[in-house]
Amino acid sequence: MKNRTTGTALINAMLATAFLLGGCGYPIKYRLNDTGIVRAKQALPLRVQIATFADRREPHEHDKKARKAEGYNDVNDFSYDKGFHGNEAEEITKMLAAHLTHSRVFASAQRGTFSSEGVSDSLLAALAQAGVEAVLTGEIENFYGYYDQNPGRQFLYAFGLGLALGLPVYLATGPQEETTRVGNVIITETTYNTIPGSIATSIGVSLGYYLESTHKRNIERHTKLTARLLNTSTRATLWQDTFE
């Protein structure tokens, strides 16, 4: 089994999710047809159930109030729990199960109805009797990221360049008068061609965002997951690794 390759692909995708920080309700998921995900030519002959990973993160990694209370700076776009859809441990475990099924690591890989903390000798014995040969448990030690942004500077760059390029074009285009005669009445209508000015403004705004993006940013991300595969009959650890 290519443990390291499969695990690395999983963690890289998880890191990307943490780093995207797409706002409230962002799902922890990625496309399984990515060419970077290795699919095993022959699955290991094991029927595996996956326990929900235990969340071992420090409070300041996922809770804004805890982060402030512990003296950490509140940076823009930090990956607090409220920014993701559902419980992070549940969602990470769900994605892991889908990943293992897609990559054909095991003959069968299904989510269990139990947590990693709840795995005991009696549970393993019951699973063994039910035909489950191994249980995958895990811990989430780190899962955070941020891409520090400066909204004020973004606005100034975008607004400033949009105005600088758009306003001269608007003024140069100027109003146009159209005269229409209806009987003995002459109607004069003033029209404005706003298309050139709008195009120039859009170019200025885009250029402003681009120039602002070249500024140095405070960027950080870190994910660390530990996984362990247990034999349900012997209780032995078949495999264990940590992925960062």
pLDDT tens column, 106-126: 899 999 999 999 999 999 999
- CA-wise closest residue to 21 among 148, 158, 141: 148
26: DSSP letter: B
Sign of CA dihedral 131, 117, 146, 221: negative
- Residue 131 pLDDT level (bands cut at 50, 70, 90): very high
The mean pLDDT value of the chain amounts to 75
Domains of the chain, with CATH numbers?
3-149+217-243 (3.40.50.10610), 151-213 (no CATH)
pTM: 0.60
